[in-house]
Copies of this chain bind each other. A is one copy, B any other.
Amino acid sequence: MDFSSKLLERAVNEMAQLPGIGKRTALRLLLHLLKQPLEQTDFLAKSLLQMREEIKFCKSCHNISDVEVCEICSNQNRNHNIICVVEDIRDVMAIENTGQFRGIYHVLGGKISPIDGVGPSQLNIATLVDKVKMSEVEEIIFALSSTMEGDTTNFYIYKQLKDFDIKTSTIARGISVGDELEYADEVTLGRSIVNRIPFENSLKSN
């Protein structure tokens, strides 16, 4: 693209480094900002910088937090003996939104993926094992996505924990509530039949 302004070109190039934002989209967003009051760009730029510079990660669960230990980990009304292992903080937010989980979390920060150069040592796995060693953990729930990488990560952690006397579980896979069976993929439909639950249990949830 042939920009008539170096300032605009530089901003487009910076913006287009964000995942899923191409140069055309970046240009559209920037032209929008140019039409808005200066304050909007000012607030945006400052909130980005402040977030990046000041945000902390909970030293217990690695969730994002403004303080040393996040609200969830410091909440004494939650069951600290049940730990839900997730990939990133979006998963924490998604599960919290359901209102169905009263334990605590452990954010790995990714999945084991040799193709992307991510090994176990780059993830927050050691601190999870320490937590199991140090405190009275009863159950670990694996809530990673069911991909090759997710399964590999689950299994790696499972092996690390197999000498401890704890329960391990994974979230249920099945047909989404409200979905038509005929459109479900075979693997999911198959698993939902194999892992069927007593009918009475389905009456309880929600």
User: Are A44 and B7 closer than 8 Å at their CB atoms?
Assistant: no
Residue in B closest to A97 when the chains form the complex, CB atoms: B2
**Known contacts A18-B32, A34-B52, A53-B38; A89/B11 CB under 8 A:** no
A104-B87 Cα distance, complex, nearest whole Å: 54
Q: At the interface, is chain A mostly helix, strand, loop or mixed?
A: helix
Which of B17, B30, B52, B92 sits near A51, CB closer than 8 Å? B30
A160-B41 Cα distance, complex, nearest whole Å: 36
Residues of chain B within 8 A of A5, CB atoms compared: 51, 55, 64-66
**Known contacts A31-B88, A38-B52; A64/B8 CB under 8 A:** yes
For the complex, is A19 an interface residue (Cβ under 8 Å from B)?
yes
Residues of chain B within 8 A of A97, CB atoms compared: 1-2
**Known contacts A8-B51, A34-B52; A15/B44 CB under 8 A:** yes
A66-B8 Cα distance, complex, nearest whole Å: 9
User: Are A7 and B90 closer than 8 Å at their CB atoms?
Assistant: no
Which one, A21-29, A146-154, A178-186, is touching chain B?
A21-29
Residues of chain B within 8 A of A8, CB atoms compared: 51, 55, 64
On A, residues with C-beta under 8 Å from B are 1-8, 10-11, 13-15, 17-21, 25, 27-34, 38, 40-55, 58, 63-66, 70-72, 88-90, 92-93, 96-97
Residues of chain B within 8 A of A25, CB atoms compared: 20
A40 to chain B, nearest CB (A): 7
Q: List 20 A-B contacts (CB under 8 A).
A: A2-B96, A4-B58, A5-B55, A7-B54, A7-B55, A10-B47, A10-B50, A11-B47, A13-B47, A14-B47, A14-B48, A15-B48, A17-B40, A18-B33, A19-B29, A20-B25, A33-B52, A41-B49, A41-B52, A44-B48
